[in-house]
Amino acid sequence: MSLTVLTSAYRLRSLCRLQRIQAHMMSSHAEPEVLLEKVGRTGVITMNRPKVLNALNLTMIRQIYPQLKKWESDNETDIVIIKGAGDKAFCAGGDIRAVTEAGKVGDSLAQDFFREEYILNNAIGSYRKPYIALIDGITMGGGVGLSVHGRFRVATEKTLFAMPETAIGLFPDVGGGYFLPRLQGKLGLFLALTGFRLKGRDVQRAGVATHFVESKKIPDLQKELVDLKSPSAEDVSRVLDSYQSQSSLDAEKPFILKKHVSDIDRLFSASSVEGIVKNLKTDGSEFAKKQTETLSKMSPTSLKITLKQLQAGAALSLQDVLVMEYRLSQACMRGCDFYEGVRAVLVDKDQNPKWNPSTLEEVSDQMVEQCFSSLGEKDLTL
């Protein structure tokens, strides 16, 4: 069978699969995928796909964004609260599998998803009313984008935060290039390259969450926030502070990375990924060995893009970072590592991706540079 016929068959199969996924995404579920309700003078957004850990899809983005804008200009709405249904996740990320299928066959979902998601992230980052994300459970990727740019982020002992994108041939997007370099020292770069997971109180200690409140207190906290009479950000802050002071769970446990903070700052301060790997190998401590092993599994292209993304993002506004990240997202759609990463981690789950290029040395500066180049009239406009 000729290569052309094989390619056509592959594209047709992908297209059929994409149509099935889109039909599923657009189908009218008995349960709406996102609940938008007004409780008193509070807008409440609930991601309502607990079976898939509240993964964010395009349909949900298209419901949340206009509602957020409406509440922002509505005199009857004082604050917005966003949370996830079920007891496992706030939002475990974007609906990456649907995006992968779309990217394979050149379907517009691969552009639309990132474009509209980033527009939503920007709306959250510039929101004029108190925006409170209750990140009670798994919060990764797209879920980070829905929370971290808001004024208040409340973690609980169930919170699990990570930006694991370099493991699937992507990069920590949704404004990761903005908030990660603004964490203490080189912590953000460490989290971005390794996908290291932070849990519970450590999410706040790292600066990702603004508050820590025990999970069982969240319903009372929400009720108290809803009952506030025309609150300012300071009023919201006071309520959150008071709930935090009542939450002593794990308070005596030190920050999980406490003994490694100075190591991270030292080892991850090189100006290239090769330099970081060299520092880790030279150091030779258990911690350094573990990070070397982790980085060796990641997409070399992703690692290099991510380092440059955070270096640039440190000096950019959130809007400029999102424009840059949209360019990167489309570069990943054009490349091959993203599809291979999703296959290895999410589809076949063999955890054995074959990256191309397979080594850091083979990823030239020019290849990285190209990923950041303008898309002309297809650039993201905010």
The answer to whether 142 is a known catalytic residue is yes
Query: Which residues are within 8 A (CB) of 114 and not within 5 positions of it... i.e. 6 or more apart?
Result: 99, 173, 326, 329, 330
Q: Which of 95, 107, 117, 165 is catalytic?
A: 165
Cα–Cα distance measured from residue 21 to residue 40, given in angstroms and rounded to the nearest whole number: 37
Cα–Cα distance measured from residue 1 to residue 299, given in angstroms and rounded to the nearest whole number: 32
DSSP 8-state symbol, 332: H
DSSP 8-state symbol, 84: E
Cα–Cα distance measured from residue 204 to residue 249, given in angstroms and rounded to the nearest whole number: 13
Is residue 211 within 8 Å of residue 155, measured between CB atoms?
A: yes
Is residue 185 within 8 Å of residue 261, measured between CB atoms?
A: yes
Is residue 25 within 8 Å of residue 57, measured between CB atoms?
A: yes
Q: Which single residue is written with the structure tokens 């999703």? A: 342
The answer to whether 94 is a known catalytic residue is yes
Q: Which of 84, 103, 125, 142 is catalytic?
A: 142
Q: Which of 95, 173, 263, 325 is catalytic?
A: 173
Q: Which of 43, 84, 93, 94 is catalytic?
A: 94
Cis peptide before 231 (omega within 30 of 0): no
Residues in the chain, overall count:
382
Query: Which residues are within 8 A (CB) of 361 and not within 5 positions of it... i.e. 6 or more apart?
Result: 274
Residues annotated as catalytic (active site), given as ranges: 94, 142, 165, 173
